Structure 1
Amino acid sequence: MNAFIAMLGATLVHFLWQGLLIGCATAVVLALLRNSRAEYRYLVACTALLACLAWPALGLVERLGNGAAVPGEAASMMQFAVRNMVGNGQLIDLGAAVRSIVSVWALCAAVLSVRMALGLLWIERTVQRNAGRHDPVQARWQARLSQMAQAFGITRQVRLRMVEVLASPVTAGWWRPVVLVPAALAARMPPDLLEALLAHELAHVRRHDYLVNLLQNVIETLLFYHPAVWWLSNRIRAERELIADDFAARQLGEPRRLALALSELERLQFSTHHLAQAANGGNLMDRIKHLMRPAPQALNWKAAIPMLGLALACVAIYAEATAAEATTAKGKTAKAVVNFDKCALPEWPAAAVAQQRTGKVVLGFLIAADGKVKSSKVEQSSGHADLDQAARTAIEKCSFIPATTAGKPVASWLKMMYDWNLK
Structure 2
Amino acid sequence: MSAQALVAALGWTLLDFLWQGAMIGVETALALFALRRARPQARYLVLCLGLLACVIWPAFSLVQRLGEAAGGGGFGPLAGMQGGAGAAGAGWEGLVRAHLAWIVLGWAACAGALGLRMAAGLLWIRRAARGKGDPAWQARLDRLAGEFGIGRAVRLRVVEHLASPLTAGWWRPVVLVPASLVSGMSPHLLEALLAHELAHVKRHDYLVNLCQNVAEALLFYHPVVWWLSHRIRVERELIADDIAARTLGEPRRLALALSELEKLQFSTHHLAQAANGGDLMSRIKRLLRPDAKASNWKAAIPALGLAAMSVAVFAQAAPAAPSKADTTAIADFASCAKPHYPEQELKQNHEGTVTMQFRVGVDGRVKESKLSQSSGYPALDEAALTALVKCRFYPARTAGQPVEDWTQVKYVWVSK
TM-score bracket, shorter-length normalisation: 0.5 to 0.7
Letter in 2 for 1:55: W
Residue 298 of structure 1, CA deviation: 3.8
Change over 3 Å in CA distance of 1:120–1:77 after alignment to 2: farther
Of 291, 299, 308, which aligns to 2:287? 291
What amino acid sits opposite 1:241 in the alignment?
Answer: E
Contact 1:49 1:229 in 2 (8 A): yes
1:221 matched residue in structure 2: 217
Structure 2 partner of 1:153: 149
Match of 2:228 in 1: 232
Partner-residue secondary structure (3-state), 1:129:
coil
Highest CA radius of gyration, 1 or 2? 1
Residue of structure 1 equivalent to 2:176: 180
- Aligned to 2:221, the other structure's residue is in SS state coil
Q: Alignment length, in residue pairs?
A: 285
Is it true that 1:101 corresponds to 2:103 in the alignment? yes
Distance of 1:34 and 1:264 partners within structure 2: 29
Which residue, out of 149, 164, 168, partners 1:168? Answer: 164
- 1:84 & 1:123 partners in 2: Cα distance? 52
CA shift at 1:113, angstroms?
A: 0.5
**C-alpha separation in 2, matches of 1:77 and 1:171:** 49
User: 1:224-252 deviations in whole A, cap 9, x for unaligned?
Assistant: 00000000000000000000000000000
8 A contact 1:163–1:182 mirrored in 2 = yes
- Unmatched 5+ stretches in structure 2: 267-271, 302-416
* 1:254/1:103 CA distance change after superposition, 3 Å: same
1:44 aligned to 2:40? no
Alpha-carbon contact 2:156-2:176 (below 8 Å) kept: yes
TM-score, normalised on structure 1? 0.63
Partner residue of 1:15 out of 14, 17, 21: 17
Percent of matched pairs sharing the same residue: 60
- In the alignment, what sits opposite 2:247? 251
Q: Which of these residues, 68, 75, 78, is aligned with residue 66 of structure 1?
A: 68
Which portions of structure 1, spanning 4 or more consecutive aligned residues, are displaced by more than 3 angstroms? Answer: 68-78, 89-92, 269-272, 297-300
Q: Whose RCO is larger (CA < 8 A, sep 6+)?
A: 1
Q: What CA distance in whole angstroms lies between the structure 1 residues aligned with 2:137 and 2:209?
A: 26
Q: More displaced, 169-178 or 234-243? A: 169-178
Give 1:74 deviation, angstroms: 8.4
- Whether 2:187 is the aligned partner of 1:191: answer yes
Which digits, 9 at most, give the CA deviation of each residue in 1:166-220, with x for residues without a partner?
1311111111111111111111111111010000000000000000000000000
Give the CA RMSD over aligned residues.
Answer: 2.8
Amino acid in structure 2 at the alignment position of 1:239: E
2:68 and 2:74 in contact (8 A); partners too:
no
Tell me if the contact between 2:131 and 2:159 (Cα under 8 Å) persists in the aligned partners: no
**CA shift in 2, pair 1:239/1:27, >3 Å:** same
User: If the length of structure 2 is used for normalisation, what is the TM-score?
Assistant: 0.64
Tell me the CA shift for residue 158 of structure 1: 0.4
The answer to whether the 8 A contact 1:7-1:69 is kept is no
Any idea what SS the aligned residue of 2:99 has? helix
SS in 2 for 1:108: helix
Alignment of 1:251-400 (within 5 A): 251-267=247-263, 268=265, 270-271=272-273, 280-294=276-290, 295=292, 296=294, 297-298=296-297
Of 1, 8, 18, which residue of structure 2 is paired with 1:6?
Answer: 8
1:71: Cα distance to partner?
A: 7.3
Partner letter of residue 230 of structure 1? W
Give distance in 1, aligned partners of 2:280 and 2:44: 18
Matched, 1:140 2:136: yes
